[in-house]
Structure 1
Amino acid sequence: IESELKIVTGLVEPHFMAGYSGGRKLITPGIAHKDTITAVHNARFLEDPGARNCNLLGNPLHEEQIEIARMIGRILAVNTVIDEHRRLSHVNFGEIAESHLAAVSFLKNYAMVPVGRRFSTVLTTGAGYPLDKTYYQTVKGMVGALDLLCEGGNLFIASECSEGLGSASYVSVQERLLSLGVERFCREYRAKAHADVDEWQTGQQVRCMLRGSVHLFSKLPPGEARLTGATPVKSLLAHLAESVERSADSSIAVIPEGPYVIPVFKP
């Protein structure tokens, strides 16, 4: 922070809380103190309608991150964008906020897909390896699909979760969710000025659970699968067929690239 020359490097892609990754996120949470990180990940920030994928306008988390970066002084950034094959498709350099916006401008038309209706059955993914190694990261795919899900619909997510749920702190929060139930968990989360570590991820999952039913197709053993709070699915095709039959909606929304391509409902 005290250096005369400050340069950060980062990847710009959709982010389910901050709108887009990279740029100011390399400062907060990148090098921020724990108290700062837990403050900007509380429910006041993350339950705001503006704190969502591919949105910077009126996004309180993004705005707070920008303000924190300004407090440090002039920061330069190298921003990159990659394609679905993880090949470099864009790179720029400049002042951290301006260059980040330029990278977002390049990316947004590829990352956002307008869709004219919502669906009772939505199938998405954890985006495959390496992002789907943990259930913690899998939540990003759930949230990315949320705008297409009808109230009371079924959201299916396929994610290997080869490394389990995630950190010990995240497992503890998931256990608390199951113990308290959604309503009480939300009350306690909303009352905090500082979120517990990783509590924000469970808070994002709860957004999906309040919209509809969440179903997980993974390789998690039963004990860990229970802690997800989602309904474990052994036969994806069978459960999809059942969902279609019950909803009387023969269409299914499918999002193969999970959190990397964000469908936006535009009637």
Structure 2
Amino acid sequence: MKTVDLAYGRNGLKMAVPGDAHVIEPRHLEGLPDEEGAVRAALRNPIGTPPLKGMVKATDRVAIVISDITRPTPNHKLVPWLMSELSHVPRENFIIINGLGSHRANTRDELIQMLGREIVETVAIENHDAFDDARLVHVGRNTYGSEIWLNRTYVECDFRIVTGFIEPHFFAGFSGGPKGINPGIVGIKTILDFHNAEMIGHPNSTWGLIEGNILQDSATQNCLMAKPQFMLNVTLNGKKDITNVFAGDVIEAHRVGCDFVRESAMYAVDRPFDIVITTNSGYPLDQNLYQTVKGMSAAALIVRQGGAILSTSECCDGVPNHGNYAKILQMRDTPKELLEMIEDRSFSMFDQWQVQVQAIIQLKAECLLYSTLDDETVRKAKFTPIKDPEAALAALLEKFGPGARVAVLPYGPLTIPYVKVPVAVG
């Protein structure tokens, strides 16, 4: 046996696994020695745009879109550095828009955690509300027939900046870039279309794919209807240190960042595994069960049909208790029935996309969960609760018998494994 360190909550979790278990981690990248210097250099030498400072007038109303507390974007660094670079713009001209998508509003204490007290006390901040039509404006229709509603404050600002971080994403290919706008600050009607069963179920709506990915294409089209004039995205290592900076045009700079992430975060294996142990990258990504599906989705890429996924995810924020995720899970008795319900064109509820992905995973493999949630809550979500990951693993090894193959994703979806397609010879 050997011990692996799993990213779990804020403090991590040690787990003994077989000595021959295949541990799949991101190619380690050191944090930049001078993060602020690297960000300033990127702002002054961007990809696809002029330097940021020269693009913004002192009289401009400037929107800075950030990702919410469920994402590890280092807003507390990026926002002050952006504002310092734009020091010629009065502080009262800035508005920070928290890109919540359909998530709950973040509290003042959470905003201080995300941005720092000085920013929260001196700069206007708006929690985006996808459900309030009065705070949205219609900007067009995309080629998929979706009506695009965007945050009114953002659209009406003179200069718009979107921030974020880039990592593989389980159906949009990669996070960051256009996704900071869509679904970050669009209306719930647009979110529902963006995440409908057809879009989520498309074979190209998957990890690490940009070209041909209709989810990424939809996000791009929607973003360009009120294009941010500037993007600042970063990449992070397992310690949440900044490893690279991509700034400039929201499409061009983002694609360069995706290429960088693809090289460091995608990992090929020869064949599927019987058992895959995964996480959801620790806090803040593993703060609820809804987000935990992402780590399971990464594991599902390399688990065999009929295998097992053992997920460790703290879920300190519960299921969560807002949104429709928990409600939808109770609308049918089995994952198969849930999937059939969601794929019916007459069905439409926000959060259905997460249940759809979850059901697809559960039809492939048994899903066990170690978390702080009570057993009843876990069972209602169609997962098997476990109290001791090592004992659960021992039972799985006995079930699958001698020679059972085990893989471990200590950082969950920060590494995206995939099974290599054999090359035909002759």
TM-score normalised to the size of structure 1?
0.93
CA offset at residue 73 of structure 1? Answer: 4.3
- Check whether the contact 1:10–1:80 (CA below 8 A) recurs between aligned residues: yes
Taking CA–CA contacts closer than 8 Å with sequence separation of 6 or more, which of the two structures ends up with the larger relative contact order? Answer: 1
Q: How does 1:141-152 map to 2 (within 5 A)?
A: 141-152=295-306
- Check whether the contact 1:156–1:214 (CA below 8 A) recurs between aligned residues: yes
Greater Rg by CA:
2
Partner of residue 202, structure 1: 355
What amino acid does structure 2 have at the position aligned with 1:119? F
Q: Structure 1, residues 62-102: CA drift from partner, whole Å, max 9, x if none?
A: 01111112222463211111111111111121111101001
**Structure 2: unaligned runs, 5 residues or longer:** 1-154, 422-426
CA offset at residue 27 of structure 1? Answer: 1.4
Partner of residue 238, structure 1: 391
- Check whether the contact 1:51–1:60 (CA below 8 A) recurs between aligned residues: yes
Is it true that 1:174 corresponds to 2:291 in the alignment? no
What amino acid does structure 2 have at the position aligned with 1:106? F
Quick one: percent identity of the two aligned structures? 33
Q: Structure 1, residues 233-255: CA drift from partner, whole Å, max 9, x if none?
A: 12222222222232233321111
For residue 224 of structure 1, give the secondary structure of its aligned residue in structure 2.
helix
Q: How does 1:215-230 map to 2 (within 5 A)?
A: 215-230=368-383
- Check whether the contact 2:336–2:359 (CA below 8 A) recurs between aligned residues: no
- Within the candidate set 30, 39, 42, 2:193 is matched to 39
Partner of residue 63, structure 1: 217
- Within the candidate set 406, 417, 420, 1:263 is matched to 417
Q: Considering fraction of residues, name the structure with more helix.
A: 1
What amino acid does structure 2 have at the position aligned with 1:63? D
Q: How does 1:1-267 map to 2 (within 5 A)?
A: 1-73=155-227, 75-168=229-322, 169-176=324-331, 179-192=332-345, 195-248=348-401, 249-267=403-421
For residue 404 of structure 2, give the secondary structure of its aligned residue in structure 1.
coil
- Check whether the contact 2:336–2:363 (CA below 8 A) recurs between aligned residues: no
- Check whether the contact 1:42–1:194 (CA below 8 A) recurs between aligned residues: no
Q: Distance in 1 between matches of 2:233 and 2:346?
A: 32
- Give the root-mean-square deviation of aligned CA atoms: 1.7
Cα 1:74/1:193, change in 2 over 3 Å = farther
What amino acid does structure 2 have at the position aligned with 1:187? E
Q: After the TM superposition, which parts of structure 1 deviate over 4 Å for at least 4 consecutive aligned residues?
A: none
CA offset at residue 175 of structure 1? Answer: 1.7
Q: Distance in 2 between matches of 1:49 and 1:251?
A: 27
- Check whether the contact 1:164–1:224 (CA below 8 A) recurs between aligned residues: no
What amino acid does structure 1 have at the position aligned with 2:384? T
CA offset at residue 48 of structure 1? Answer: 1.0
**Structure 1: unaligned runs, 5 residues or longer:** none
- Check whether the contact 1:113–1:264 (CA below 8 A) recurs between aligned residues: yes
CA offset at residue 16 of structure 1? Answer: 0.8
Matched length? 265
Q: Distance in 2 between matches of 1:146 and 1:256?
A: 15
- Check whether the contact 1:113–1:262 (CA below 8 A) recurs between aligned residues: yes
For residue 96 of structure 1, give the secondary structure of its aligned residue in structure 2.
coil
Partner of residue 75, structure 2: none
For residue 210 of structure 2, give the secondary structure of its aligned residue in structure 1.
coil
